Copies of this chain bind each other. A is one copy, B any other.
Amino acid sequence: MTYSEENYLKAIYHLSLFQKKGVNTNAIAKMIDSKASSVTDMIKKLAEKNLVEYQKYQGVSLTAEGLLEAKMIVRKHRLWEVFLVEKLDFSWDEVHDVAEELEHINSEKLINKLDAFLGFPTEDPHGDPIPNAKGEIKKMDKKLLSELKLNQKSICVGVKDSSSNFLKYLDKQQIALGSTIEIIEKESFDASLIVLVNGNEMNISNKIASNLYVKTV
């Protein structure tokens, strides 16, 4: 498989998590940062290889084979992110771009040895689940902080937006995976929150709260 094919499969996979129907051509183009016509071309090729199901004008979905391939790419991406953070001291906002390259390295032995070396982690540095060697994903039940009830104690377990910008903001506010979070007041005017993060009171906007995953305790 080429890098380009792998990137398309991954894009379709990510989009299909939020889209029960077929994934839209335009959505893929946006994610891959290319044009709709290019997407149509590639989709035809992937369909030819039985990696996606495709009917003209009806969007596209992964076949069982395509789904497994996509999960293996995601697995590699997230394992490399763990490696970069745990072993090479990268911060969580620096790993994505490098992992985008590393995810295409093609060696089953490499990735399984890396998995073992890292102690078979189940989540990446952003709290996203890492598929195991069979493609199985242990799903954690987590909710957005914006949906958390008042005075309900919780732990930060992930981010929805993992842009460098957002992650750096969290660093500055000393919010990290594992931080305890509790909402002590909701402002109805702008849906901002006053929260306790590791016991420290702070004010966060609704936008922030809508991009933080928490697990109630």
A31 interfacial by beta-carbon distance below 8 Å: no
Closest Cβ of chain B to A145, distance in Å, is 31
Partner of A117, one of B88, B94, B97, B107: B88
**B101 contacts A88, CB within 8 Å?**
no
Is chain A's interface secondary structure helix, strand, loop, or mixed overall?
Answer: helix
A120 interfacial by beta-carbon distance below 8 Å: no
A105 interfacial by beta-carbon distance below 8 Å: yes
A110 interfacial by beta-carbon distance below 8 Å: yes
A149 interfacial by beta-carbon distance below 8 Å: no
Contacting residues, chain B, for A89 (C-beta < 8 A)? 113
Please tell me the size bucket of the interface on A: 10 to 19
A90 interfacial by beta-carbon distance below 8 Å: yes
The count of identical subunits is 2
A106 interfacial by beta-carbon distance below 8 Å: yes
Partner of A110, one of B84, B106, B113: B84
Contacting residues, chain B, for A114 (C-beta < 8 A)? 88
Closest partner residue, chain B, to A110 (CB atom): B98
Closest Cβ of chain B to A90, distance in Å, is 7
A134 interfacial by beta-carbon distance below 8 Å: no
20 contacts between A and B (CB under 8 A): A84-B110, A87-B117, A88-B110, A88-B113, A88-B114, A88-B117, A89-B113, A90-B109, A90-B113, A94-B109, A97-B107, A98-B105, A98-B107, A98-B109, A98-B110, A101-B105, A101-B106, A101-B107, A102-B105, A105-B105
16 additional A-B pairs beyond A94-B109, A101-B107, beta carbons within 8 Å, are: A84-B110, A87-B117, A88-B110, A88-B113, A88-B114, A88-B117, A89-B113, A90-B113, A97-B107, A98-B105, A98-B107, A98-B109, A101-B105, A101-B106, A102-B105, A105-B105
